[in-house]
Structure 1
Amino acid sequence: MDRNIGASLTAPRIRIVEIDTFERDTRLRLPFRFGAATLEKAPQAFLRVRVEDEKGKTAVGAAAEMMVPKWFDKNPAFTPAQNVDQLRGSIRVAAAASLEASAPTTLFAAARVNEMETVRRLPGNPLAAGFGPSLIARAALDAYCRLAGISFFDAVRGNLVGIGGSMLPGDIGADAASATLAGLRPAGSISARHTIGLLDPITERDIVHPVDDGLPQSLEAVIARYGNHWFKIKLSGEVDADLDRLARIAAVLDHLPDYRVTVDGNEQFAAAEPLADLLARMAAMPRLARLRAAIAFIEQPFSRAITMQTPLRALAAELPFLIDESDDGDAAFAHARELGYTGVSSKTCKGVYRSLLKAIRIRTTGVPNLFLSGEDLTCQAGLAVQQDLALVSLLGLSHVERNGHHYVAGMQGAPQAEMARFAAAHPDIYERGAEGPLLSIRDGRIAIGSLGAIGYASGALPDFEAMEPLS
């Protein structure tokens, strides 16, 4: 079959007829330091999108994502407030472009066209420009699923999203895409990979400013409460400081019978040599032996300005490497593979269809040892974390970085009625906290069976009337 036919002939066509944008301030219970940035507060964006099918029937869907400064754009010339305004601008431009489209089309084609048009209108940083389109695509998919009375899993596995047609990248065939999607199977639970931020206390003795909200602060307390056995360690790029901190982390983790870690460079290494020095010195330290053996992969060690010009060479023979911030377009992973990378991230802020296309490529390319990993952007309890959990589960991932529940206490900022609706709709995902539902992690795992609800992984919608319009 021609690669431009396939699912595009049978997938339903919709039109986006209304987009409302909102935000809700979110204050972190603990400062989160990643790379050179420290996050203490940030607004969460919410979108409400109405779609119409070819019979004139409509439904509303929603999506949410934190507008995190200094991840999409690390340019020091921009303040955190300017970074957030970049993301607001992406939402506005993407919404305007979506509403300009008049002819019904598949969900996939609508998302691809919207992303390309938004990036065209906001040149310079595809990651920041793609933020708005990613939210619109998720909300439109949620709306379609509610319209059709099906789950996100049904929509994707049946390729009702329409991954095919002229919007399909040239290296993927329509039949292979549909066959891959049909073979995806969501799990009933997934391991939570706990993030160890650069400011996070490792032991109870390290706590300088106790929060006293009943939730864990130190790594020791996190393990005692949640039972994690997967961890993500942030690096600073300062080799001596990183080695000292890794040794303190290892002293805690080595009490566990078994654990695995991923290591995130967050673009902090200026060249391959300091990273090679770090790994060599780790190998020479007996107290880091177990932690070094537990590393599953290293994530984005170099700045995106140099990543695609910096071959990994001998480093790639030591450990698998993954790109995250440098994954800003269809060709990025293929280029990175030439440099020695074998992994690429799934993040809902980059787009649900981008993650699905990556999974299709990895499963159909025939190249061994390629992998996809779920990475968080402080996804908050409610829509954001549920939609991300559903996606990574369907992709077949066995673990996902989860950090929003650690740095923010539950559905902070939401009205009590909204919290109650989400807790009632998803009793496996949330547990009762002092001020509302909290993400439930037991023995290091999150139960996610309820994400098969009608819609995109949510049996409830937020209280939009209690939010502020997008600033």
Structure 2
Amino acid sequence: MTNPKSDIKILSVKYAYTDEKFRVPLKFGVGYLTNVPSSTVIIEAINGTGKKAKGIGNILLSDLWAFPGSEITHDEKINAFKEITKRFAQFLQNSGTFGHPIDLYLDSKHELLKIASSVEKEMKFNIHIPVLASLMVGSPFDAALHDAFGRINGICSYDGYGKEFISKDLSNYLGPKFKGKYISDYLNKEYKPSLPIFHLVGGLDKLYTNEIEDSDPKDGLPVSLEQWIEKDGIFCFKIKLTGKDIKWDVDRTVNITDLIASGGLKEFYLTCDSNEQSPDPEAVIEYLLKVKERSELAFEKLLYYEQPTERDIEVHKYDMHAVSKIKPVLVDEGITSLEKVDLAHELGWTGLALKTCKGHSSALLSFIKASELKMPCSVQDLTNPGVSFIHSAGFAARIDTIMGVEYNARQYIPSAQKDIQEKHKSLFEVVKGKVSTVTVGNTGLGY
């Protein structure tokens, strides 16, 4: 069943890469990032009335996040990502079917995973390319489809998810409980005018200005957390933890809290993320209780803990109920399918950390499923520059989130896509801890 007027068909798919060099290393999980390729996809499509337009999608191909581990080298992983991109682009270009972008992408997901499997065999990898990595590689294609759809039909892409544009209701994606409901029923009718941003405090980031060394950047931008607070008036902070060194993690959390409070800031919020390095829920509980013991203020300000334990939540099926009773715990890398949202709920995870780098279509449906399960959602970042930050911020502004959106590209790759930053100055410049969505357009994804 299709909508003959508004549904689109892909005419051509193009892709390109730029190498983004980080001004300071970003430490998280088992390593750190110094440079990452940025993948940009442009899809030209046509609708049933003959109107054509091009849509854009962009994401950093972060192997440290999507494909961690040392069994395969960084260069081999990036080469695999690029080969998957090449083959998936060809597959989509040859698809030749009309459909809503949700269906066009979700129907092609199986082929994306199949391509990844073929690539890993041909490159003689001794481990599988993770599903998460395939979703990351596929995400700019998904975004480009949704952007093209909005542009062709002269609408904001988020206004194209009701029954006048999409022939299937949510029961087709989420089961019979969603009969008669549509994606648009769960979205804000307009972009929120502004969003608080979460500032990332990486594992190597300097806290105090007196820690800055001669080797640190001298580009006029802040280096220490102290300087960032003064410049941007930030009041939301995401702290990267080791997950394994509880003493270091507690010290780091308390030290950051003390720094923020010493500046006179009363209203501020913390989150933490060990990128699944915590060995088990007991270690998470130990960290939380020790933070509370050391600093009531730090514990009070902590909104949630993001993905503390292993990303494959099916392996040990850790029971997170005890953690959730102390502080909310959000699953991020652990959600690679809609079925895993249900599993996370059963295991006691409080909510979801959504990322557009896992796919726009999946992010929308995961949010809806989580909403029905009363699971709160945050919107996190993959160091999204330019177009990809507009996408992420726009998504966050159209749903109900826990305190806005993460925005760390300004810290690590501030020069990326300068033309986009100039066009959307109020979105990329943080004022009193917030960004404005006033420049996000009402056609496509608003680039």
1:358–1:372: 8 Å Cα contact kept in structure 2? Answer: no
Which stretch has the larger CA shift, 9-18 or 352-361?
9-18
What's 2:426 paired with?
428
Q: Is 1:83 aligned to residue 77 of structure 2?
A: yes
Displacement of 1:99 after TM fit? 2.1
Which amino acid counterpart does residue 73 of structure 1 have in structure 2? F
Aligned length: 430
What's 1:373 paired with?
378
Displacement of 1:154 after TM fit? 2.7
What's 1:224 paired with?
230
Q: Is 1:251 aligned to residue 255 of structure 2?
A: no
Please give the alpha-carbon distance, in whole angstroms, between the structure 2 residues aligned to 1:176 and 1:45.
34
What's 1:387 paired with?
391
Distance 1:214 1:329, change over 3 A: same
1:184–1:395: 8 Å Cα contact kept in structure 2? Answer: no
What's 1:66 paired with?
60
What's 2:122 paired with?
none
Query: 1:283-333 CA distances to partner (integer Å, 9 max, x unpaired)?
Result: 221xx2211111111111112246652112422210111111111111111
Q: How does 1:35-434 map to 2 (within 5 A)?
A: 35-123=29-117, 124=128, 125-156=130-161, 160=165, 164=169, 168-170=173-175, 173-178=178-183, 180-181=185-186, 184-208=189-213, 209-237=215-243, 238-255=245-262, 256-285=265-294, 288-305=295-312, 309-363=317-371, 365=372, 367-368=373-374, 370-380=375-385, 382-397=386-401, 398-411=403-416, 414=417, 419-420=418-419, 422-423=420-421, 425-429=423-427
Q: Is 1:27 aligned to residue 28 of structure 2?
A: no
2:274–2:308: 8 Å Cα contact kept in structure 1? Answer: yes
Please give the alpha-carbon distance, in whole angstroms, between the structure 1 residues aligned to 2:176 and 2:84.
28
Which amino acid counterpart does residue 447 of structure 1 have in structure 2? S
Displacement of 1:217 after TM fit? 1.0
Task: State the secondary structure of the residue aligned to 1:360.
Answer: helix
Distance 1:40 1:450, change over 3 A: same
Task: State the secondary structure of the residue aligned to 2:353.
Answer: strand
1:168–1:174: 8 Å Cα contact kept in structure 2? Answer: no
Which amino acid counterpart does residue 406 of structure 1 have in structure 2? Q
Task: State the secondary structure of the residue aligned to 1:45.
Answer: strand
Distance 1:154 1:282, change over 3 A: same
Q: Percent identity?
A: 23
Displacement of 1:82 after TM fit? 2.4
Please give the alpha-carbon distance, in whole angstroms, between the structure 2 residues aligned to 1:132 and 1:283.
40
1:191–1:445: 8 Å Cα contact kept in structure 2? Answer: yes
1:376–1:402: 8 Å Cα contact kept in structure 2? Answer: yes
Query: 1:6-25 CA distances to partner (integer Å, 9 max, x unpaired)?
Result: xx557722111111110011
Task: State the secondary structure of the residue aligned to 1:52.
Answer: strand
1:261–1:294: 8 Å Cα contact kept in structure 2? Answer: yes
Please give the alpha-carbon distance, in whole angstroms, between the structure 1 residues aligned to 2:168 and 2:353.
20
What's 1:445 paired with?
434
CA RMSD of aligned residues (A): 2.2
TM value normalised by structure 1: 0.86
Displacement of 1:116 after TM fit? 2.3
Displacement of 1:169 after TM fit? 3.0
Displacement of 1:376 after TM fit? 0.3
Displacement of 1:34 after TM fit? 0.7
2:269–2:303: 8 Å Cα contact kept in structure 1? Answer: yes
Displacement of 1:58 after TM fit? 1.9
Q: 2:11 pairs with 7, 17, 23, which one?
A: 17
Please give the alpha-carbon distance, in whole angstroms, between the structure 2 residues aligned to 1:74 and 1:188.
37
Which amino acid counterpart does residue 357 of structure 1 have in structure 2? L
Task: State the secondary structure of the residue aligned to 1:388.
Answer: helix
